[in-house]
Amino acid sequence: MTYEFDWMVLITYKQLLIDGFLMTLKLSIIGIFFSFLIGSFVGLLRVSSNFMLSLSGTYYVEFFRNIPLIVQMFFIYFSFTLTDAFPILVTFGNFLGLENHNEFFSALIALITYTSTYVAEAVRAGIQSLPKGQMEAAKTIGMNYYQAMYYVVFPQAIKIVWGPITSQFLNLIKNSSLAMTIGVAELTFQTQEIDSLTFRGFEAATAVTILYLSLTLATAYVMSFIDKYALVKVKSEAGAVS
């Protein structure tokens, strides 16, 4: 039996693909931003000389890293109504043009907590890979611990682990497809909608493959650009200070 391709179905249902792509884009951009911020903060906690701060960072990493992402999504979605607990999310959701606020933010929080643990571990490894003399040199010119970490140690550590962090951001983009399991109409969800309406699963799968590939390649390019032009300057300035 010969399968007859009908690529026009993608044109007919292009709005579903566009809506799904934009939803994936929202999850990815916001998720990357906050997972980097939280992950960097937790990574700094992990290397803190304060035992309680270091312990809290360790608990955060070990807790969220060892629970499957899809389980975290289900737990947040079925255990809490985030929009009731945090009404500001409704305002933010309206700004983003969302219809299903609780589903979106449940998936987003799970993506952030899960990805931030791996970012935290990358930051920790980067800081611990630097010579201890970097911190000591910064202190000799009058910096306290927090200033030395902010101006000298952290920028150099980020430069070292930018590659692994980029990989985690790409994983976040791909993991966003799990949001469909709680009703978020992202790219994979909309692709299955096209399949159910037209029974053109191959054409729909081809479209989603190309769109995911385009998004991840674009993200990798942006991260490479930042690494090449922004972080090089940051690291050189930090090295000059130390």
pLDDT digits (tens, 9 = 90+) for 22-71: 999 999 999 999 999 999 999 999 999 899 999 999 999 999 999 999 99
User: Does residue 162 form part of some domain?
Assistant: yes
- DSSP string for residues in 157-211: HHHHHHHHHHHHHHHHHHHGGGGGGGT---HHHHHHHHHHHH--HHHHHHHHHHH
User: Does residue 154 form part of some domain?
Assistant: yes
User: Does residue 3 form part of some domain?
Assistant: no
The continuous run of DSSP H or E covering 41 comes out as: helix 14-46
Q: What's residue 142's pLDDT? A: 83
Number of domains in the chain: 1
pTM given for the model: 0.91
- DSSP string for residues in 17-38: HHHHHHHHHHHHHHHHHHHHHH
- Identify whether the C-beta of residue 104 lies closer than 8 Å to the C-beta of residue 184: yes
Burial class, 239, CB count within 10 angstroms (exposed 0-12 / middle 13-18 / buried 19+): middle
User: Does residue 206 form part of some domain?
Assistant: yes
Rounded to an integer, what distance in angstroms lies between the CA atom of residue 22 and that of residue 28? Answer: 10
Rounded to an integer, what distance in angstroms lies between the CA atom of residue 137 and that of residue 134? Answer: 5
User: Does residue 224 form part of some domain?
Assistant: yes
Rounded to an integer, what distance in angstroms lies between the CA atom of residue 98 and that of residue 114? Answer: 23
CATH code, 45: 1.10.3720.10
Domain that holds residue 107: 8-241
Neighbours of 209 (CB within 10 A): 11
User: Does residue 235 form part of some domain?
Assistant: yes
- DSSP string for residues in 73-118: HHHHHHH--HHHH-THHHHHHHHHT-S-HHHHHHHHHHHHHHHHHH
CA atoms within 13 A on the CB side of 44: 15
Q: Chunk the chain into consecutive blocks of 10 residues (it has 242) and report each block's average pLDDT, rounded to whole numbers.
A: 83 94 97 97 93 96 96 94 92 94 96 97 94 83 86 90 95 96 95 92 93 96 86 55 52
Q: What's residue 216's pLDDT? A: 96
Q: What's residue 4's pLDDT? A: 83
Rounded to an integer, what distance in angstroms lies between the CA atom of residue 59 and that of residue 156? Answer: 26
User: Does residue 2 form part of some domain?
Assistant: no
Cβ-based neighbours of 80, under 8 Å, separated by 6 or more: 106
User: Does residue 1 form part of some domain?
Assistant: no
